[in-house]
């Protein structure tokens, strides 16, 4: 799927369908969140999410996503220095890990895309602060998703906040328009220039997803050709919601 696919404005009916896709996606993520504990494998978490999605008539949209080889799972599960796109496996969660879970659900023709990062048992103060900063960056970005603003206003608000906290945003992976396809236009990086980019208008739907690193902004890809890690091995976090621009306040489509 192309990343420069055109921007598609959604009408009220389409937004209502996206809300339902987002709700099911949130249900899958909530189910996984409940299961997170030391000793559970990432494949077990993946199976639980797939079960919830299929039982409710949805399709896990990440599965088969084109890359070096088709993505093999429902979730991406990324631990510690893994930023995004970690592949579920027999690997077990351990006390003190931070785990990022990203999920995409197709329901009645529309996609919901959302992610969160959380701690496994007790985590370090540094890790806890990283999670707070990344989640806060998401909500700071969402607040800018208003009619008349531009995507650069959203991107720069995220960047300025994260960097003010002494942390870094990735330059290589971005938020994106979402709708009938998981990736539509526009791209919404986590850095940018105020006043630049696409002007936001009601019906624009964007998966906003700050990806934050403690050490540097640089990443590399592991030999599995999917898992993205911080280049310096430092901790990373990722939060995401699918959000619609409206005549009034931004509307989060991926809430329970």
User: C-beta of 231: minimal distance to Mg ion in Å?
Assistant: 22
Q: Between 3 and 42, how does the x/- string for binding to Mg ion read (CB under 5 A)?
A: ----------------------------------------
Query: What is the rounded (10 degree) CA torsion for 240, 245, 251, 254?
Result: -40
Q: For 227-252, give the DSSP string.
A: -EEETT---EEE-BEEEE--SSS-EE
Cβ closer to Mg ion: 92 or 255? Answer: 255
Residue 19: how many CB atoms within 10 A of its CB? Answer: 18
Dist CA 41 CA 88 (whole Å):
8
Counting contacts by CB under 5 A, is residue 207 touching Mg ion? Answer: yes
Task: Choose, by CB under 5 A, the member of 102, 135, 153, 184 that binds Mg ion.
Answer: 102
140-to-18, 158, 190, 254 alpha-carbon distances in Å: 22, 6, 11, 17
Dist CA 109 CA 251 (whole Å):
19
Counting contacts by CB under 5 A, is residue 73 touching Mg ion? Answer: no
Q: Between 225 and 244, how does the x/- string for binding to Mg ion read (CB under 5 A)?
A: ---------------x----
User: C-beta of 255: minimal distance to Mg ion in Å?
Assistant: 15
Instruction: DSSP letter for 89, please.
Output: -
Counting contacts by CB under 5 A, is residue 184 touching Mg ion? Answer: no
Cβ closer to Mg ion: 85 or 150? Answer: 85
Cβ closer to Mg ion: 46 or 240? Answer: 240
190-to-120, 130, 133 alpha-carbon distances in Å: 26, 16, 13
Cβ closer to Mg ion: 93 or 115? Answer: 115
Cβ closer to Mg ion: 92 or 118? Answer: 118
Place of tokens 């799927």: 1
Two tokens, residue 194:
């105020």
Dist CA 39 CA 181 (whole Å):
35
User: C-beta of 69: minimal distance to Mg ion in Å?
Assistant: 19
User: C-beta of 212: minimal distance to Mg ion in Å?
Assistant: 15
Site for Mg ion in 108-137 (CB under 5 A): 113, 115
Cβ closer to Mg ion: 112 or 203? Answer: 112
Summarize as ranges the residues that interact with Mg ion (CB under 5 A). 102, 113, 115, 207, 240
């Amino acid at each position: 799927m192309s990343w420069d696919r055109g921007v598609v404005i959604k009408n009220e009916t389409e937004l209502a369908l996206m809300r339902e896709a987002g709700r099911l996606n949130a249900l899958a993520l909530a189910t996984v969140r409940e299961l997170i504990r030391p000793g559970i494998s990432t494949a077990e978490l993946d199976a639980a999410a797939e079960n919830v999605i299929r039982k409710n008539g949805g399709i896990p949209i990440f599965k088969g996503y084109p890359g070096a080889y088709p993505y093999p799972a429902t979730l991406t599960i990324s631990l510690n220095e893994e930023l995004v796109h970690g592949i579920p496996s027999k690997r077990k969660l351990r006390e003190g890990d931070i785990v990022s879970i990203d999920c995409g659900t197709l329901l009645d023709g529309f996609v919901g895309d959302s992610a969160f990062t959380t701690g496994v048992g007790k985590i370090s103060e540094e890790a806890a602060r990283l999670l707070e900063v990344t989640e806060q960056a998401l909500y700071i970005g969402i607040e800018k998703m208003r009619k008349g603003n531009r995507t650069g206003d959203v991107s720069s608000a995220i960047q300025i906040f994260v960097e003010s906290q002494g942390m870094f945003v990735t330059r290589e992976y971005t938020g994106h328009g979402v709708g009938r396809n998981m990736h539509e236009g526009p791209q919404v990086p986590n850095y940018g220039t105020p006043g630049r980019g696409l002007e936001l208008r009601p019906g624009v739907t964007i998966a906003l997803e700050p990806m934050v690193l403690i050490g540097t902004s640089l990443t590399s890809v592991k030999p599995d050709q999917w898992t993205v890690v911080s280049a310096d091995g430092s901790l990373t976090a990722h939060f995401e919601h699918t959000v619609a621009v409206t005549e009034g306040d931004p509307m989060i489509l991926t809430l329970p």
